[in-house]
Amino acid sequence: MAKILLVDDEESIRFTLSAFLRRDGHVVVTAASLDEALRALEPANGGPPDLVITDIILRGENGLDFTRLVRERCPFVPVILLTGRPSVESAVRAVSEGAEQYLTKPVDKEQMLQAARTALRHKALDDERRALVAERENLRVHLEAVFQAVPDVLVTVTPDLRIQRMNLAARELPGGARDARQTAGRRFDEALGLFAPLFRPVLDETLGTRRASRRRRVSAQLADGREQVFEIEAAPSAGGGGEFLGALLVARDVTRLAGLEEALGHRAGMNQIIGRSAPMSELFHLLDELAQTDTTVLITGESGTGKELVAEALHRGGPRALGPLVKVNCSALSEHLLESELFGHVRGAFTGAVRDRVGRFQLAHGGTIFLDEIGDVSSAVQLKLLRVLQEREFERVGDTRTVKVDVRVIAATNRPLADLVRSGRLREDLYYRLRVVELRLPALRDRRSDIPLLVDHFVEQFNIHFHRRVAGVTPVALQALMAHSWPGNVRELRHALEHGFILSRGDVIDVDALPPEVRAAVGMSPTPAPVQRSIACDTDLQRQGAGNAWGADRAGDRSGGRSMDHGMARLPRGTGHPVARRTASLPARQPFTTARSIPASIPTACPWTWPVPGGEGIRHPPSRRYRAGRFRLSRLLCLSCLPRPSCQSGRSGPSGRSGRQARRALSTAVGSARNTPPTAPKLAVACG
């Protein structure tokens, strides 16, 4: 339904035509003169109609003049002109005034309706087009505002690197073009000034590949000496039909973030390396310098001195920190596997190469590769390594195409590489390429003053790991730790403290919880006498259970210790069993068995200690913690001290029915873990 203004000085025509139009569903407003017609256009009278139909000759007035007025006041309203006296002049004027149609009277119904419908359809299409244009313009204005307001540098360029648009942030870059009117059409290099060469690589990548570029971090030194760091990337820009129009560059200022990251990364890397002794201070100083460079570094030192830790610090403390750090243990793989691991291979390169594989060097692109045990590589791999170190390029196994990489190489060894060179097992040229800078890590025995610091560090780590609150080690334990020669260096010290955590239940680790070889350093026997309470318990047990398997075992135990192995399981050493791994540093004949779960009915705390052939006095942990399921494994539990009616020490576990139930339940758990009868085991390691 449309609103139509019909202007004619003849009433009969107004009546007839408005009847046709109303019957066609329209609202018709009529006017007999130009004055009336102009009033009808006013907003107070409902505003402009959708269509005006007017006679040309209106008693001294002219419908053509009215047409002009309509076009001026409401330019989107179509006008149909009617005339009883058609002439070429009036028709020409009708067209020039912008009339939609020119009809000669008499006008029949169909002719009138057809003309009105056509004019209204054109108007509807025109309205729609204008709405779309307005919407697009709104969007453009909105986007322009966003484009200008974004704090990131935004620049769009044509495929031949001419500026299309630059936002405010881009125009504010030092040395760049500031005036928006001067930037369009200018060459990118001129418009971006100092920053052009910095930003170009991502644009070149996108313009070359027509794909989004990789995100990169670049930095520029400003005239005032400050460094400005950007994260840059580019994406292709396309027209409405998908045609390639050029690229959009986005450069985000991350100077502050980079500063924070650097400080954090540096701290994270360095903070993990503990030491205050002179050789360590010197090392930290060198690390500071080397982290900022791309120099190949060879880290040497005995096993366990922290070579891997130092490699991590070099990576984290430098500009490659955001890139990958890829570690390869070169001694862990055979020659062929190592070659394919390092450089990758293509499908069919050798039997079993069923698909292409990317090597570690490629994975480390943009970051660092750490080649541990570098002294153990074959001559074929040495040759390839030499080329990567010299040219930063290689071919995958079975491929002829050259792969280029941007990788920092850090290598480590605990073998004397110079000897390997002399004996011909290591290429001399490779040796010198690897040893651009050598970092020699001191053995722990050469920096004993760091031991207390390291002890505190590991105690802190294990407190978190084991959910404990151990305050430290006793003076005697520290004395032993300081006196030991540490052939396994810091790794061995770490293991010794883990051993101490496992074997002690109190708030401090005493010397008797340390491994035998450490205890021996202070003249303590590696297999000390059982502690007093254990003997009491032992006697008690013997008295109680002469006739059962427990009593029999204990009797044998007192006579020499070895017989205590009877009825006890051994840890599956060297296997992948978690208990074996975690207690690997315990004496070889330490009797343990494993229980997958500890029944809820075992006593909440057991004060007993128990002698074992290794000489450890093993104290029970509060079993509440088992129930909470927080212990992962390696809690030692003495089955002998499970609930029983009484004990000579006067500290007995729960007795009666609940005690018997608890004992049976735990024995069953242990027994089923060992696949032996439930009465057999004496000690259990609980794996939660």
| Binding stretches for ligand ATP (CB under 6 A) | 272-275, 301, 303-309, 372, 414, 454, 457, 490-491, 494
Do β-strands 594-595 and 683-686 pair in parallel, antiparallel, or remain unpaired?
parallel
Query: Shortest Cβ distance from residue 276 to ligand ATP (Å)?
Result: 10
Q: Residues 300, 413: contact at Cβ < 8 Å?
A: yes
Tell me whether residue 488 or residue 591 sits nearer to ligand ATP (CB atom).
Answer: 488
Q: Residues 308, 414: contact at Cβ < 8 Å?
A: no
Nearest to 34 by CA among 72, 8, 15, 14: 8
Query: Shortest Cβ distance from residue 568 to ligand ATP (Å)?
Result: 31
Return d(Cα 491, Cα 473) in angstroms, integer: 18
CA 524 distance to own-chain centroid = 50
Q: Residues 205, 214: contact at Cβ < 8 Å?
A: yes
Tell me whether residue 248 or residue 444 sits nearer to ligand ATP (CB atom).
Answer: 444
Query: Shortest Cβ distance from residue 576 to ligand ATP (Å)?
Result: 19
Query: Shortest Cβ distance from residue 317 to ligand ATP (Å)?
Result: 15
Tell me whether residue 304 or residue 681 sits nearer to ligand ATP (CB atom).
Answer: 304
Q: Locate tokens 């400080």: which residue?
A: 263
Query: Shortest Cβ distance from residue 478 to ligand ATP (Å)?
Result: 17
Q: Residues 286, 317: contact at Cβ < 8 Å?
A: no
Query: Shortest Cβ distance from residue 548 to ligand ATP (Å)?
Result: 45
Tell me whether residue 289 or residue 460 sits nearer to ligand ATP (CB atom).
Answer: 460
Residues belonging to the chain: 688
Tell me whether residue 303 or residue 661 sits nearer to ligand ATP (CB atom).
Answer: 303
Return d(Cα 613, Cα 588) in angstroms, integer: 10
Q: Which ranges of 63-108 would DSSP assign to H, the alpha helix? A: 63-73, 88-96
Return d(Cα 562, Cα 580) in angstroms, integer: 20
Query: Shortest Cβ distance from residue 585 to ligand ATP (Å)?
Result: 13
Q: In this structure, which long-range contacts are made by residues 448-453, counting pairs with CB atoms below 8 Å and at least 24 apart in sequence?
A: 448/482, 449/276, 449/277, 450/274, 450/275, 450/276, 450/277, 450/280, 451/478, 451/481, 451/482, 451/493, 452/478, 452/482, 453/274, 453/275, 453/276
Query: Shortest Cβ distance from residue 376 to ligand ATP (Å)?
Result: 12
Query: Shortest Cβ distance from residue 229 to ligand ATP (Å)?
Result: 30
Return d(Cα 269, Cα 271) in angstroms, integer: 6
Query: Shortest Cβ distance from residue 667 to ligand ATP (Å)?
Result: 37
Return d(Cα 410, Cα 437) in angstroms, integer: 10
Longest Cα–Cα distance in the chain: 141
Query: Shortest Cβ distance from residue 450 to ligand ATP (Å)?
Result: 7
Q: Residues 195, 176: contact at Cβ < 8 Å?
A: yes
Do β-strands 51-55 and 216-221 pair in parallel, antiparallel, or remain unpaired?
unpaired
Helix (H) or strand (E) holding 393: strand 393-395
- Under the phi-then-psi rule, with left for phi > 0, alpha for psi from -120 to 50, and beta for the rest, what region is 397? beta
CA distances, 148 to each of 152, 232, 255 (Å): 9, 18, 21
Tell me whether residue 30 or residue 305 sits nearer to ligand ATP (CB atom).
Answer: 305
Tell me whether residue 117 or residue 491 sits nearer to ligand ATP (CB atom).
Answer: 491
For residue 551, the one-letter residue type is G
> Please, which residues bridge with residue 249 across strands?
155, 234
Q: Locate tokens 């920092």: which residue?
A: 408
Query: By beta-carbon distance, which residue lies closest to ligand ATP?
Result: 306
Tell me whether residue 272 or residue 668 sits nearer to ligand ATP (CB atom).
Answer: 272
Query: Shortest Cβ distance from residue 542 to ligand ATP (Å)?
Result: 44
Tell me whether residue 78 or residue 304 sits nearer to ligand ATP (CB atom).
Answer: 304
CA 57 distance to own-chain centroid = 81
Nearest to 73 by CA among 34, 99, 108, 47: 47
Query: Shortest Cβ distance from residue 274 to ligand ATP (Å)?
Result: 4
Tell me whether residue 217 or residue 499 sits nearer to ligand ATP (CB atom).
Answer: 499
SS3 assignment, position 58: strand
Tell me whether residue 447 or residue 620 sits nearer to ligand ATP (CB atom).
Answer: 447
Tell me whether residue 609 or residue 634 sits nearer to ligand ATP (CB atom).
Answer: 634
Return d(Cα 155, Cα 165) in angstroms, integer: 6
Tell me whether residue 300 or residue 362 sits nearer to ligand ATP (CB atom).
Answer: 300
